Structure 1
Amino acid sequence: MDAAAGEAGIDEAFAAEPQRHLGYLIRRAQQRHVATWARVASTETTSVQYAILAVLDRLGEASQRELCDEVDLDRSTVADLLARMERRGLLTRRRSSGDARRNVVTLTGEGLAERRRLGPLVEQVQRELAAGMPPGELAALESGLRALLASGA
């Protein structure tokens, strides 16, 4: 390879900065998700709050620690989210009768209604985000993201 060709290769690699980096792509994809979520699903209930609603709908009730594990967030973030959701009337928190250190979280009727209202809209967000992606590429993206998350700390 001559010097000019070598320099051209370096220039091409740097020309793709920062778009060639995984972190950049993940951040841009998250920005697109947030914008699509706000347009299609809700400006009041975030996708993370929806995840909490869905987990509580599936489990019936959960401790704050279980919610941390289910939605993969730290305790302070989950506590803040739950406080905001409780103020909106979407859920209730109470001390566990068996362990006073444990908060048990359950959906209210309003929380269940919000979960059900958002369900089809979440599917629409999914369809819009995946629009234009061949099924094989979408499956590979999902698989790759799951592998990336499973390999992390």
Structure 2
Amino acid sequence: MTRAATGKDTTRRRVRLDPPADLVAAPGYGARRLYQAYLAAWTRHVDSVLTGPQFAVLSAVRAYPDADQTSLASAVALDTSTMADVCRRMERRGLIARHEAPHDARAKVLTLTAEGAEALAETNRRARALDEALLAGCPAEHRPHLASLFNDLGAEWERVAERPEL
């Protein structure tokens, strides 16, 4: 019913609720919040088409020319099936080329195309500007340690995920 029918305002009012204390205390909740905020910032300020994983693959292909797709997947923390999907999309867009590896016809070797190198350079410029903005509230002397801390935590959390039991 509407206000006109009842004389009362029955529309729901949305209120902003604080997250429950047990969530705030959980490191996974904080990590997810950081990641969600990062994705939103990436989409708005860096590139709304080229994703973070695609950017990571382009960076790895530049760093390791003619490396095989499976090796590059581990370098950018992607499972092999996700890596294959990401590479197919980037190949269709003309950002990378995939060729049979000389030592194994089943393996794919990746190379950057001229368009991929150009996209990487421009995206890298905007990504570094985003990094600066994201770290602006952090004291300058702590900034170099944050990436190391995040990567160390990521490695540890990956090890935990691989355990058969906790």
Aligned to 2:155: 150
- Asked whether the equivalents of residues 61 and 107 of structure 1 are also in contact (C-alpha less than 8 Å), the reply is no
Work out whether residues 64 and 104 of structure 1, in 8 Å CA contact, stay in contact via their aligned partners in 2.
yes
Q: How many residues align?
A: 140
The one-letter code matched in structure 2 to 1:90 is L
Which SS does the other structure have where 1:93 is aligned?
Answer: strand
Does 2:66 align with 1:94?
no
Which segments of 5 or more consecutive residues in structure 2 lack a partner in the other structure? 1-18, 160-166
Q: Deviations over 1:118-152 (max 9, x none)?
A: 11101011112112111344345333322222323
Tell me what 2:126 maps to. Answer: 121
Superposition pairs of residues 68-147 of structure 1, within 5 angstroms = 68-147=73-152
Write the deviation string for residues 52-71 of structure 1: whole angstroms up to 9, x where unpaired: 11111122222111111110
Aligned alpha-carbon RMSD (Å): 1.7
Comparing 138-147 with 33-42, greater Cα deviation is found at 138-147
Partner of 2:51: 46
| Residue of structure 1 equivalent to 2:3 | none
More helix, by proportion: 1
SS at structure 1 position matched to 2:103: coil
**Mapped contact 1:95–1:104 kept (Cα < 8 A):** yes
User: With CA pairs under 8 Å and 6+ residues apart, which has the higher RCO, 1 or 2?
Assistant: 1
Unaligned runs of 5+ in 1: 1-13
| SS of 1:104 mapped into structure 2 | strand
* TM-score with structure 2 setting the length: 0.78
What is the identity percentage for the equivalent residue pairs of Structure 1 and Structure 2?
34
Which entry has the higher C-alpha Rg, 1 or 2? Answer: 2
Q: 1:103 to 1:15 in 2, by over 3 A?
A: closer
Question: Are 1:62 and 2:48 matched, yes or no?
Answer: no
Q: Which amino acid aligns with 2:42?
A: W
Give 1:147's aligned amino acid.
Answer: D
TM-score (norm 1): 0.84
